[in-house]
Amino acid sequence: MTERPLRIAVLGTADIARRRVLPAMAADPDIELTAVASRDGGRAREVADQFGCAAVESYDAVLTRDDVDAVYVPLPISLHAEWAGRALRAGKHVLAEKPLTADRPTTEALLDLARASGLVLMENVMFVHHPQHSVVRELVTSGAIGQLRAFSAAFAIPALPAGNIRHRPELGGGALLDVGYYPVRAALYFLGAGLEIVGAALENTGGSMVETSGAVLVRSPAGVLGQLAFGMEHAYRSAYELWGSEGRIRVEPAFTPSADHKPMVWITDAHGPRELTLAPHDQVAATVRAFVRAVRSGALQSPDAGECLEQASLLDAVRARATRTGAPRP
């Protein structure tokens, strides 16, 4: 007998939900979109009609529905803990946008709640589900560039309108949590746990109330240094490079490729430069499938709990270590 689809409702109508995650869920045969909730009824109806599901004007009302097994939470960061927590207490599995919360203690409390409730709580970190990164990791592990000596990563986006939620501190805005998340998570992915934040700087420009750019220096337990840069007033860039004793590997774009993008891995070693072209891969669909698998596996711990906690600790450490310039407007 075929297992019925996982019934998912969405709390909010954020751009990332409408553009990328909802289409991936709608296309997955193992998922049934049952409802879209928004405090703006017209907005809920607009998105729900597009995906053939119910429109709901209350987040709480979604959590009481019998036709909802799980919820996707694309709300602003400051609301993740509240609504992910309410969903878990209502017996729903949760896929929440990254970062799961704005600090480690809150993240740990949510993960503990999920574990105690026997429910999956997964942070929506899509790039780690793209196979290009596991290919790169295997190249490094196999010694393709000798001993790893240094790592660098950058993610930045062009300037956003002043009223964008990323400029609102009360909603969890700021470059560190929004775009800095990617190079920090990439460092964790390639250098492993136990990273030390050696130095950090956060910059406020243009009178913004949040940091608009930053840089971080990390050190791995093996002594590999990582340089991480991010910002939201830049020409777009999404890249990382691993530099070894005998060569280097670069990937660009790295973190948000489209589903039809053919990844290129640039390798320079003793034989000179070469390019490795990989097959296209839809990392959004892969993330959605990973969530469904986690729910169906009956796992007692969320699949990315360890990395989620480690990432939260690193972001806390960056804030604690960082020097700041360009003070925000009062």
Confidence check: pLDDT of 22 > 80: yes
Residues 242, 141, single domain; the answer is yes
Residue 309 in any domain: the answer is no
Q: Which of 110, 126, 142 is the last residue of a domain?
A: 126
Report H helices in 22-154. 22-27, 41-51, 59-63, 77-89, 104-117, 131-141
* Tokens 């169906």 belong to residue: 296
Q: Specify if 133 maps to a domain.
A: yes
Mean pLDDT of the residues in the chain: 94
* Domain identity same for 135 and 59: no
Identify the domain boundary among 77, 103, 126.
126
Catalytic residues: 98
Q: Give the C-alpha separation, 192 to 257, whole Å.
A: 23
Residue 177 pLDDT more than 50?
Answer: yes
Instruction: Identify the residue whose tokens are 């973190």.
Output: 255
Same domain, residue pair 160 and 275: yes
Asked, for residue 113, whether it belongs to a domain, the answer is yes
The predicted-structure confidence for 51-87, as pLDDT tens digits, reads as follows 999 999 999 999 999 999 999 999 999 999 999 999 9
Does residue 172 sit in the same domain as residue 201?
yes
> Is 34 in the same domain as 165?
no
Dihedral sign, Cα of residue 34, residue 36, residue 41, residue 45: negative
pLDDT tens column, 226-269: 999 999 999 999 999 999 999 999 999 999 999 999 999 999 99
Q: Based on the domain organization, do 54 and 133 belong to the same domain?
A: no
For the whole model, what pTM was predicted?
0.94
Is there a single domain that holds both residue 144 and residue 279? yes
Q: What is the pLDDT of residue 304?
A: 87
Residue 196 has a CB neighbour count (10 Å cut-off) of 12
Q: What is the pLDDT of residue 163?
A: 82
Residues 265 and 143 in one domain: yes
Report strand pairing: 31-37 vs 54-56. parallel
For residues 277 and 244, state if they share a domain: yes
- The residue ranking higher by pLDDT, 2 or 202, is 202
Is 171 inside a domain boundary?
A: yes
Reply yes or no on whether the pLDDT at 330 is more than 70: no
Q: Are residues 98 and 146 in the same domain?
A: no
Q: pLDDT grade, residue 324 (50/70/90)?
A: confident
Range of the domain at 173: 129-283+314-325
| CATH code where residue 189 lies | 3.30.360.10
Residue 119 lies in a domain: yes
Are residues 228 and 194 located together in one domain of the fold? yes
The token pair that represents 70 in the structure block = 């799980």
Residue 294 counted as domain residue: no
Whether residue 138 sits in one domain with residue 95: no
- Is residue 69 situated within a structural domain? yes
Q: Which is more confident, 3 or 207?
A: 3
pLDDT of residue 1: 41
pLDDT recorded at residue 2: 58
Give the domain CATH number at 74.
3.40.50.720
Find the mean pLDDT for residues 23-37.
97
Overall domain count for the chain: 2
Give the whole-number percent of the chain exceeding pLDDT 90. 88
- Model confidence at 161: pLDDT above 70: yes
* Number of CB atoms found within 10 A of residue 60's CB: 12
Judged against a pLDDT cut of 50, whether residue 329 lies above it is answered with: no
Which of 126, 149, 182 is a domain's end point?
A: 126
